């Protein structure tokens, strides 16, 4: 079976992809610095604790392992934090990816899947967003990922053997329906997780950041995609690269969105808790609407999502919140 190196495989999305690939029989090695990940989340393959800033160590590991492909999740992921600490994002997300790509290039490793983001589009001109829309990030997080996309494009043009797929994630949410893994951050900032932790009593109230956006109810609209459907997108992207597909970029979302207020109402319904909510000013760096046009992923890679249902997404996250293993 093929060998896949997964950076950030102990994190939220990475661990779900490790599980999906592990179930299919892939041989896996996760590299993770465990800054936000958990060793218990890695259900298949080996885990090495290392940081991508340590280029020598990474090179040694990859030279020994000789992967057929690399899936690169390891990154910092909070839009608001990136506005406060841009250098952290350019270091972790851009510079460290450059380290990794230099190592892969030196070692002749040619198949690469990159965790990109809808944040590369900034405030898009058209909704739903197609992959051909302008890349125009409005926060350092999106910019740090957009830089990598450009580097990947240039590298694949210079070295025809190097092929990559960038997956631009929209709002990833939910947890493993089997309940083994899920999101587990010390200080979560994502809407669904914050809402559920407020329902649980871990936070006093949930703030709605901005009610004056140009949307029907004034709150931001996002395309929430279940983490297992996103994991499937990685599996098919990997399989297509391994069977010789050219480099490409795909949006990962369902193609319709929910407002913050709609998410809050659904979270109240699923949990049965009428938790306190307060309207607050806008959070810096938030675009009003991000909804994917995912027809390319559906048509070209035959992606067939199974969990396009906000209530189900929130139910799996709630189940995880109540029965966490780590």
User: What are the catalytic residues?
Assistant: 141
- Which residues neighbour 21 within 8 Å (Cβ) at sequence distance 6 or greater? 4, 6, 28, 44, 234, 235, 238
| Interacting span for ligand UFG (CB under 6 A) from 38-46, 56-64, 151-159, 203-211 | 203-211
Residue from 77, 155, 227, 277 that binds ligand UFG (CB under 6 A)? 77
81 touches ligand UFG (CB under 6 A): no
Q: Do 111 and 242 form a contact (C-beta atoms < 8 A)?
A: yes
Helix (H, G, I), strand (E, B) or coil at 261: helix
Q: What are phi and psi of 165, to 5 degrees?
A: -125, 125
Q: CA distances (Å), 209 to each of 55, 153, 191, 324, in order?
A: 39, 35, 10, 27
Say which residue the tokens 């809402």 belong to. Answer: 195
88 touches ligand UFG (CB under 6 A): no
220 touches ligand UFG (CB under 6 A): yes
Q: What is the SS3 assignment for 84-136? A: HCHHHHHHHHHHHHHHHHHHHHHHCCCEEEEEEEHHHHCCCCCCCECCCCCCC
75 touches ligand UFG (CB under 6 A): no
283 touches ligand UFG (CB under 6 A): yes
117 touches ligand UFG (CB under 6 A): yes
Residue from 5, 29, 58, 118 that binds ligand UFG (CB under 6 A)? 118
233 touches ligand UFG (CB under 6 A): no
170 touches ligand UFG (CB under 6 A): yes
- Residue nearer to ligand UFG on the CB measure, 80 or 236: 80
318 touches ligand UFG (CB under 6 A): no
- Residue nearer to ligand UFG on the CB measure, 160 or 282: 282
- Residue nearer to ligand UFG on the CB measure, 207 or 312: 207
Give the separation between CA 34 and CA 184, rounded to whole angstroms: 12
85 touches ligand UFG (CB under 6 A): no
Q: What angle do CA 166, 191, 295 make, to 5 degrees?
A: 35
171 touches ligand UFG (CB under 6 A): yes
- Residue nearer to ligand UFG on the CB measure, 52 or 277: 277
240 touches ligand UFG (CB under 6 A): no
x/- letters, 32..71, toward ligand UFG (CB under 6 A): ----------------------------------------
DSSP state of 39: G
**Cβ neighbourhood burial of 158 (10 Å; 0-12, 13-18, 19+):** exposed
72 touches ligand UFG (CB under 6 A): no
- Residue nearer to ligand UFG on the CB measure, 33 or 193: 193
Give the separation between CA 9 and CA 31, rounded to whole angstroms: 7
Question: Which residues bind to ligand UFG, rule: CB under 6 A?
Answer: 77, 79, 117-119, 170-171, 189-191, 194, 206-209, 220, 222, 260, 283, 286, 290
């Amino acid at each position: 079976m093929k060998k896949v190196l997964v950076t950030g495989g102990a994190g939220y999305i990475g661990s779900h992809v490790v599980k999906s690939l592990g179930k299919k029989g892939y041989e896996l090695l996760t590299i993770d610095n465990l800054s936000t990940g958990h060793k218990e989340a890695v259900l298949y393959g080996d885990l090495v604790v290392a940081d991508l800033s340590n280029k020598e160590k990474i090179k040694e590991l990859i030279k020994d392992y000789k992967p057929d492909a690399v899936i690169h999740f390891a990154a910092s992921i909070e839009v608001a934090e990136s506005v406060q600490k841009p250098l952290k994002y350019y270091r972790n997300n851009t510079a460290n990816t450059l380290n990794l790509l230099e190592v892969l290039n030196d070692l002749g490793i040619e198949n690469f899947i990159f965790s990109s983001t809808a944040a590369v589009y900034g405030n898009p001109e058209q909704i739903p967003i197609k992959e051909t829309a302008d890349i125009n990030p409005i926060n350092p997080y999106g910019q740090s990922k957009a830089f990598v996309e450009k580097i990947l494009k240039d590298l694949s043009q210079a070295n025809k053997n190097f092929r990559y797929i960038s997956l631009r994630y929209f709002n990833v949410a939910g947890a493993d329906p089997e309940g083994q893994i899920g999101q587990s951050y010390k200080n979560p900032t994502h809407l669904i997780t914050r809402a559920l932790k407020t329902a649980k009593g871990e936070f006093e109230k949930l703030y709605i950041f901005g009610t004056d956006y140009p949307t029907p109810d004034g709150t931001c609209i996002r395309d929430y995609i279940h983490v297992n459907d996103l994991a499937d997108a990685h599996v098919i992207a990997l399989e297509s690269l391994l069977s010789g597909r050219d480099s490409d970029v795909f949006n990962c979302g369902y193609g319709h969105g929910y407002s913050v207020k709609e998410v809050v109402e659904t979270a109240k319904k699923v949990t049965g808790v009428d938790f306190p909510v307060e309207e607050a000013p806008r959070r810096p760096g938030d675009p009003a609407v991000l909804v994917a046009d995912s027809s390319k992923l559906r048509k070209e890679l035959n992606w067939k999502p199974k969990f396009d249902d906000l209530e189900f997404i929130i139910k799996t996250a709630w189940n995880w919140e109540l029965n966490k293993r780590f």
